[in-house]
Structures are given as C-alpha cells and as structure tokens.
C-alpha cells in the first residue's frame, strides 16, 4: 500500500471516529449517570476551590460515593469545563478525545507489532466503529482513558527499541493509567510483566540508564497511590465491596457440605469442600464469563454498557475473531509478537474475575483494541483465502459474490447499530441513565425561593440525587464547602445544602408550611396531584414534584 493512500485512509478513519464520538455527545446517552455527574462537579469544585466535594485539597483519589474513584479524569476535565462551562458535553469530552486518540494510537501500535499497514488500518477502523469503544468514549468513564494510556504505553514501549528515550514515556503512560481506573491497578503490572517477558531480548539490550529512569518515573507516579492505599483504610473499601472474597453468600452454600463431611469424619471431603476451592471456582467462573460469546456478540451486560439489542461487538465480527485467533497462532508473524498478543488477550479478564457481577464490560475494557486486532487479522486471512477461489459460475466469480455478501452484511450490521445507539437507546434506556434531573433541577431553580424547604428522595432510583442538583445548579463550590460539603457518600446517605435536603422521603411525616417534595413514583405512590413532573422518553413517569402545606 502506498504511503499516500495509507495516510488518506488513516485520516478518514480518525474523522469517522471523531464523528461517531462527538456528534450529539451531550444528548446521547440521554443523561449523565451519577458517576459522570460526580466527576464533573468534583472537577468544577477543584477548579474553583482546589478542593473536592468533601473539602480534600488536590485529591489523587475522589471519595465520591465512597467508591474512591481515581481522580485523574476529573483533572483532565478541568480545562474543558473552564472553556465550555459545567455541562454534560464538557464532562464527556475528555473521554471522547481519548477515544479518538486511541483509534489513532492503535494504528501505530499495530503497525509497530505486525509491520503491516493493512492490519493496522483495519484494526483502527474496527476500533473506530466498535460499539464497545463508542459506548465508553461517549460517557465520562475513566476506564476509557485507561485504555488510551495503555495503548500509548505499549506503543512507546515498542518504540523504545529504536529510540530508547520512549521507554520513559511508556513508564509515564502506564503510571498514569494506575490513576485512572481501579482495574488498572491489577492490569498494568501484568501488562508490564508480559511486555518485558515477551520482548526480553530487545529489552535487556537497552542501555541500563533508560531502564532505571523509567523505573524511577513509574515509581514516582505510582508512589502517592501506594501510600494512599496503605494509609487509608477506606480506600480498599470499594475493592472489598466488589470482590468475591468478601462475598459471604459464596461460602454459605458450602457450610452444609463441610458440616456433613465433619459428621461423616470424611477427611477427603473436608479437603475437597474446602472454601478455597469454592473461591477458586468462582475466580475461574469470573474469568471464563468474559469468553461467553453471548455477552460479547448478542446481549452485553447491564443496559448502560451497550446499545439496546446489541452486544459489545458486531455479530458479523464473530467468525473473523475466531479465524483471527487461529491465523495469529499459526500465521507467519514474529514469535515474540505472537506470544505478547496472546498473553495480552489472556490477562484482560483477570482483574474482573475476582469481582462480583461478571462479565463486566468496564472492568474488562482492556479487551480493546486487542479484539479488533484479532478480528482484523481474521478478516484479512479470510479475504486472502477467498480471493484464491478460482471457481467460476455463469460469468460471476464466486469470490466477488462472497465479498459483496460480506460487505452488505457488515453495512447492515453497522446501520443497525447506529440506529440502536443514536435513536433507540434514549427511548429504551433513559431510566438506566437516571434521566429526568435536568428538567427537575431547572424547575427547582425557578421556584427554589418560594419554598422554605425542598426535600429530595435519595432512595431507590433517586440514590445520590444530591449530586445531580449540585451538577445542574452549578452550585458554587465555595458556598457548598462552607455549608459543610458532602456529609455522606454512602448508598442512600443523607446530604443537604441551601434549602435542599436529600433523604428518605415520607410524605406523611414531612409537616409544615411551604415544603416541596421530589421523588420517584415509588417514593410518592399515593400522591397524585403534582405541581411538576417529568416523563421518560417512553412516556412512563420518571420524577414527581409535590407540595406540602400544613
């Protein structure tokens, strides 16, 4: 392929990636979820006061909803919020930009690995249109930035074999990745291990000073995180919350067996029914759940992680992914590259495998862009095989028939996805995106002065409602912190600012004049007279506003 053509094509791919990631960014998905709102407001707060919602000065970890989010994403959004103001678009923009950069970086990475322009181009094209990557590039998901940093990290690591100073850049990227998302704390060390292991020949021939510099850079970047994790007992609470090792229901089932073995004096049984065996099986199950083809190609996991009616990849990619794995293993590629690519694929599900709720599209997001690379290899392998077909029937070459069938399936699949994502998603999934606050907060802003007290539910679907009010009101962070900032980050924790209170709603207990109550239909089931309400796009009732005046 000529250089010029390659250049034109990669520009086209990046333009396509940008359109798919930026068009209607603030409107689709229909509403920010609570994590997006939290990242946005914390960035806004740090920008104005240097402190997060709890008053912590320049945090590297955001306590947020007691899930202790790594803070880097919030810092990335500060410059954008300072230009465009605090809104959904600006919160999502960093993710979209990193998404576009990942598409470009993937091209260079694959070129570096496989030395072939066609694999590189096709991989980055598949990533550009990947339902999985688009899903997370269009929301403020820290994990998506992690993918970008990892891709750059691997790219610079490989570049270092020609220009050694790239190694420190690689260390910088991978170090930063730790600060972006929880799973990276497990994934990045594994990634470094397989990079060094697979390319050990090239790596050891690097001059020592480059290696030491990189180690020092990586250590300096990760040190604050290590210190924080070791000194703050709450920091691990999130990990505990999602980890299977703290999930007692797993071993409950086993206690009966162990009791029976004890009664039977069955030593073999006590060894086999040991709870460690049970945990090991759960880890294996968690790992393997990410190889479920249904999850990847048909249904995905929770609604916010995929477009309705779609999996995480295109169905048409399925055969080519399988062919790709085969042709990578048996094809004529550099052995170290083969080993690295296979190991890269195999380590991705590890961080997610020790958690509950598997398979999980965010915790396993590092499958990007490896799945696209494998699919690209598979497509090119298949194309080559098909173009060798000599069979000719009634003047139409069979191979052209197969090509055009393939292309039409691909176009159909892509069109279907575009429709599902850009048209159907907001209709079917708005409730999972915590839709409705924007309208409600606008209303509250106009009537806020008329009421003595405004009580907002914080239970069920209205959990963490305080954050949406802070976000949409663009509530002055100085004022918020002077009123005490956030009091509780727990699930259904109580908070308040100005004349707003966020707590469990009970219509009959709130007595007094001039009170406004805001809650979901299940918070206010018997109250029919609303002063304001907002529906989901499917016309079902989302949030109710009612008055109490006695």
Minimum CB–partner distance for residue 379 and other proteins (Å): 17
Minimum CB–partner distance for residue 344 and other proteins (Å): 17
Helices and strands of the chain, counted as H and E runs:
25, 10
- Contact, 313 vs 130, CB < 8 A? yes
Minimum CB–partner distance for residue 290 and other proteins (Å): 9
Query: What element of type H or E holds 547?
Result: strand 541-548
Nearer to other proteins, 419 or 522 (CB): 419
Segment interacting with other proteins, rule: CB under 8 A, options 69-77, 243-251, 296-304, 542-550: 296-304
Q: What are phi and psi of 533, to 5 degrees?
A: -155, 160
Question: Does residue 69 sit in helix, strand or coil?
Answer: strand
Minimum CB–partner distance for residue 202 and other proteins (Å): 25
Which of 242, 315, 498, 527 touches other proteins (CB under 8 A)? 315
Query: What element of type H or E holds 350?
Result: helix 350-353
Q: Which residues of 66-76 are buried (b: 16+ CB within 10 A; e: fewer)?
A: ebbbbbbbbbb
The Cβ of residue 2 has, within 10 Å, a number of other Cβ atoms equal to 8
Question: Does residue 147 sit in helix, strand or coil?
Answer: helix
Nearer to other proteins, 186 or 316 (CB): 316
Could you say whether residue 269 binds other proteins (CB under 8 A)?
Answer: yes
Could you say whether residue 319 binds other proteins (CB under 8 A)?
Answer: no
The sign one gets for the Cα dihedral 156, 19, 413, 427 is positive
Residues 275-294 that bind other proteins (CB under 8 A): 277, 281, 284-285, 288-289, 291-294
How buried is residue 113: exposed, middle or buried, by Cβ count under 10 Å (0-12/13-18/19+)?
buried
CA distances 503 to 38, 433, 469, 514, 520, Å, are 18, 21, 13, 18, 13
Question: Does residue 507 sit in helix, strand or coil?
Answer: coil
Rg (alpha carbons) of the chain, rounded to whole number: 26
Could you say whether residue 256 binds other proteins (CB under 8 A)?
Answer: yes
Which of 243, 262, 404, 415 touches other proteins (CB under 8 A)? 415
The Cβ of residue 21 has, within 10 Å, a number of other Cβ atoms equal to 22
Cβ within 8 Å of residue 444, ≥6 positions away: 454, 469, 473, 500, 516, 518, 545
Nearer to other proteins, 403 or 428 (CB): 428
Could you say whether residue 329 binds other proteins (CB under 8 A)?
Answer: yes
CA distances 277 to 110, 261, 281, 328, 355, Å, are 40, 15, 6, 34, 16
Question: Does residue 265 sit in helix, strand or coil?
Answer: coil
Segment interacting with other proteins, rule: CB under 8 A, options 40-48, 127-135, 383-391, 411-419: 411-419
Say how far apart CA 247 and CA 59 lie, in whole Å.
30
Segment interacting with other proteins, rule: CB under 8 A, options 133-141, 419-427, 435-443, 540-548: 419-427
Nearer to other proteins, 325 or 370 (CB): 325
Minimum CB–partner distance for residue 328 and other proteins (Å): 10
Which of 266, 438, 476, 492 touches other proteins (CB under 8 A)? 266
Could you say whether residue 357 binds other proteins (CB under 8 A)?
Answer: no
Per the structure block, which two tokens stand in for 131?
A: 């339902």
Minimum CB–partner distance for residue 511 and other proteins (Å): 43
Residues 31-90 that bind other proteins (CB under 8 A): none
User: What is the total count of residues that contact other proteins (CB under 8 A)?
Assistant: 37
Question: Does residue 239 sit in helix, strand or coil?
Answer: helix
Which of 260, 385, 452, 513 touches other proteins (CB under 8 A)? 260
Could you say whether residue 501 binds other proteins (CB under 8 A)?
Answer: no
Could you say whether residue 309 binds other proteins (CB under 8 A)?
Answer: yes
Which of 54, 345, 403, 416 touches other proteins (CB under 8 A)? 416
Nearer to other proteins, 266 or 547 (CB): 266
Could you say whether residue 297 binds other proteins (CB under 8 A)?
Answer: yes
Could you say whether residue 384 binds other proteins (CB under 8 A)?
Answer: no
Nearer to other proteins, 67 or 273 (CB): 273
Say how far apart CA 80 and CA 382 lie, in whole Å.
44
Could you say whether residue 427 binds other proteins (CB under 8 A)?
Answer: yes
Which residues form the interface with other proteins (CB under 8 A)? 256-257, 260-261, 264, 266, 268-269, 272-273, 277, 281, 284-285, 288-289, 291-294, 297-299, 309, 315, 325-326, 329-330, 412, 415-416, 419, 423-424, 427-428
């Amino acid at each position: 392929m000529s250089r010029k053509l390659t250049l034109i094509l990669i520009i086209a791919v990046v333009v396509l990636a940008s359109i798919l990631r930026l068009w209607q960014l603030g409107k689709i998905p229909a509403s920010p979820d609570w994590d997006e709102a939290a990242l946005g407001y914390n960035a806004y707060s740090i920008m104005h006061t240097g402190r997060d919602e709890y008053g912590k000065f320049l945090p590297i970890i955001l306590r947020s909803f007691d899930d202790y989010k790594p803070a880097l994403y919030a810092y990335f959004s500060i410059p954008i919020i300072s230009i465009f103001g605090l809104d959904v678009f600006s919160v999502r923009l960093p993710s979209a930009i990193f998404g576009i950069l990942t598409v470009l970086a993937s091209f260079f990475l694959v070129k570096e690995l496989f030395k072939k322009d066609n694999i590189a181009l096709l991989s980055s094209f598949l990533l550009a249109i990947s339902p999985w990557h688009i899903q997370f590039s269009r929301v403020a998901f820290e994990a998506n930035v992690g993918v970008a940093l990892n891709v750059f990290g691997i790219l610079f690591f490989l570049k270092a074999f020609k220009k050694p100073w790239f190694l420190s850049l690689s260390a910088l990227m991978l170090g930063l990745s730790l600060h972006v998302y929880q799973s990276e704390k497990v994934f990045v060390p594994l990634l470094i291990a397989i990079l060094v292991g697979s390319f050990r020949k090239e790596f050891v021939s690097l001059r020592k000073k480059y290696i030491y510099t990189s180690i020092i850079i990586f250590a300096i970047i990760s040190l604050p995180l290590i210190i924080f994790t070791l000194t703050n007992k709450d920091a691990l609470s999130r990990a505990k919350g999602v980890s299977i090792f703290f999930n007692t229901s797993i071993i409950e089932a086993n206690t009966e067996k162990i009791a029976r073995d004890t009664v039977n004096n069955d030593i073999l049984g006590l060894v086999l029914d040991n709870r460690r065996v049970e945990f090991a099986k759960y880890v294996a199950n968690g790992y393997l759940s990410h190889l479920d083809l249904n999850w990847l190609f048909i249904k995905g996991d929770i609604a916010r992680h995929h477009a309705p009616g779609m999996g995480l990849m295109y169905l048409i990619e399925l055969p080519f992914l399988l062919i790709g794995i085969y042709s990578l293993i048996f094809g004529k590629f550099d052995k170290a590259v083969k080993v690295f690519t296979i190991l890269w694929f195999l380590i991705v599900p590890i961080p997610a495998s020790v958690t509950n709720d598997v398979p999980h599209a965010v915790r396993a997001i590092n499958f990007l862009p490896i799945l696209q690379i494998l699919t690209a290899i598979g497509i090119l392998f298949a194309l080559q095989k098909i173009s060798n077909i000599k069979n000719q029937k009634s003047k139409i070459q069979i191979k052209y028939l197969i090509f055009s069938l393939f292309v039409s399936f691909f176009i159909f699949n892509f069109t279907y996805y575009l429709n599902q994502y850009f048209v159907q998603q907001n209709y079917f999934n708005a409730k999972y995106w915590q839709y409705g606050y924007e309208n409600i907060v606008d209303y509250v802003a106009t009537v806020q002065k008329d009421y003595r007290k405004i009580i907002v539910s914080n239970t069920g679907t209205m959990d963490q409602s305080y954050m949406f009010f802070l976000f949409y009101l663009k509530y002055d962070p100085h004022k918020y912190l002077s009123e005490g900032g956030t009091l509780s980050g727990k699930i259904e924790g109580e908070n308040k600012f100005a004349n707003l209170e966020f707590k469990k709603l009970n219509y009959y207990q709130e007595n007094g004049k001039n009170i406004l109550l805001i809650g979901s239909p299940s918070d206010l089931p018997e109250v029919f007279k609303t002063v304001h309400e907002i529906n989901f796009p499917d016309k079902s009732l989302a949030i109710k506003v009612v008055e109490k005046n006695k």
